[in-house]
Chains A and B, each alone.
Chain A
Amino acid sequence: MLLLISEIKAIIAHRELLWQMTSREIKARYKQSILGYFWVILSPLAQMLVMSFAFSLILRIPTNSASNIPYSIFLFTALLPWTLFSNSLGSACNSLVGSSSLITKIYFPRTILVISTIIAKIIDFFFATSILIVYLIIYQIPITLNILWVIPIFFIQQIFTLGLSLFFAAANLLYRDIQYLLGLILTLWMYLTPIIYPADIVPDRFRILFQLNPIAVIVNAYRQVILGGGEPKYSSLLIALLLSFATLLVGLAYFKSREKIFADNI
């Protein structure tokens, strides 16, 4: 806990650097591409269309039983935050290794490298969300005030993402096997999370798995508050919050304990 507070202070003191690193991340990415930043909208849209085709027209996976929400919206509501999660983890995992020249030369809080890549992904996410909003309007999905719940849900997601990212970034610096392992984990994780299918078709005895998977809780909560217009399940959300926070503390502790030897091992 003390570690977290002192790290936050260090980051605030270096906020200029955090800001510059984030804008470097965003500016440099789509340089020398014709469509440029439009890719952040194009690729999730294409992914969503292909997956909708495969899972709703061919496999005929149902959406929530009670409502008649089109599958594409149902999928997209979960796919967007999942893509944010997996992209954040993937790029954060390589963020330290990719900045080896900086790490061996200049001292600054290393967490900034991880956080700036995550912020860049969050900005991508906001752009990609515009498609979802257009979709919600076209299909006239009724929106209630409960939609404001997306803000705390989003925060829980980011706490969880940051905790895991810190762990994977530091581990990958020491053992490059981690990045390949992470790719595998993310693929399996996606299928164990109710993204392409609704949570309520899962047999009861497996429910506990979803309770303990913060991403499943988060994805479900997004669907409930955006598409269902209801309130999220508070108990699940609280468990997810506690688990996420614990993940952050453990991730940060691991990161800080390895930080001293980053420059020796990169």
Chain B
Amino acid sequence: MNEPIIKFSHVTKDFDLQSQKTFKEFIPALIRGEQTRQKFTALNDINFTIDRGETIGIIGPNGSGKSTILKLIAGVMSPTKGKVTVSGKVSPLIELGAGMHPELTGRENIFLNGAILGLKRKQIEQYFKSIVDFSELQEFIDQPIKHYSSGMYMRLAFSIAVHVDPEILIVDEILAVGDTEFQAKCFTKMEEFKKSGVTILFVSHSMPQVELFCPRAIYLKHSNLINFGPSKEICQQYLNDHP
């Protein structure tokens, strides 16, 4: 079980931000030889290793680099310096339903989103009923999803994502939406994943949730990794910093 599935070694991620927003500002700055780009460090020399089957909470104030870490793990960004090693299929739940198209029906979106998450058509057909059942959206499945409420939207997206058979599940503050009943259902599903050995990364601002659900947690602040350890201690430290 103690085989690393995610490894960050000396990972730094910089962004270039254009300082001058308009052409009118940009040209004079260029002529005067001022700097036209500003560097912003989102992650600074981050090192950690996550083993297969672990459930890790990621906490930190807004803008501390949580999402950047998740994006590096999902493979959509590459680090400026250092190395990110991920050995498994990632199912991202970052801002659910990224690939949803509002004009398409729930049914069409299940197929579209399933394909985006890497499912074969046969697999989607096989899981279809179970996805719809989990989402409890049977009556609305042939409606364009632009008519869905945000809760319904999230339920559909979550239902698809949990059927992907992920090795690494990224859950980014999604449980803030949806009613209590559905939240409980999501947690039950995630407990199941935990038992079956899926690695889960859980981003949340709710310390009780992190303490309850994750044995260990990562604390990020100002682009630096402050601490990585048992979630009880880490959450306490976070609460001390942010009374």
Contact = CB atoms under 8 A, between A and B. Distances in A.
Contacts of A21: 112, 115
A43 interface: no
B15 interface: yes
A220 B95 CA distance: 50
Contacts of B98: 101-102, 104-106
B74 A107 contact: yes
Interface in A187-222: none
Contact of A102 (B111, B116, B120): B116
B74 A105 contact: yes
A28 interface: yes
Contact of A31 (B74, B103, B111): B103
A20 B92 contact: no
A103 interface: yes
Which of under 10, 10 to 19, 20 to 34, or 35 or more describes the interface residues of A? Answer: 20 to 34
B101 A105 contact: no
A19 interface: yes
A106 B101 contact: no
Contact of A263 (B76, B90, B104): B76
Nearest to B75: A107
B78 interface: yes
A255 B119 CA distance: 26
Nearest to A100: B98
B82 interface: no
A101 B113 CA distance: 13
B125 to A, nearest CB: 12
A261 B119 CA distance: 26
B144 interface: yes
A32 interface: yes
A20 B99 CA distance: 11
A102 B74 contact: no
Contact of B101 (A19, A28, A107, A108): A28
A1 to B, nearest CB: 24
B112 A106 contact: no
B76 A16 contact: no
B226 interface: no
The A contact surface, by secondary structure, is helix
Interface string A5-34: 000000000101101110010011001100
A104 B71 contact: yes
A12 to B, nearest CB: 13
Contacts of A27: 103-104, 108
B30 interface: no
Contacts of B103: 27-28, 31-32
A107 B116 contact: no
Interface string A248-266: 0000000000001111100
B144 A19 contact: no
B77 interface: yes
Given A21-B115, A24-B112, A264-B15, 10 more contacts: A14-B118, A16-B119, A24-B104, A24-B108, A101-B98, A102-B99, A104-B98, A105-B74, A107-B76, A263-B77
Interface of A: 14, 16-17, 19-21, 24, 27-28, 31-32, 101-108, 260-264
Interface of B: 15-16, 71, 74-78, 90, 92, 94-95, 98-99, 101, 103-104, 108, 111-112, 114-121, 144
15 contacts: A14-B118, A17-B116, A27-B104, A31-B144, A102-B116, A104-B71, A105-B74, A105-B94, A106-B74, A107-B90, A108-B116, A108-B118, A262-B76, A264-B15, A264-B16
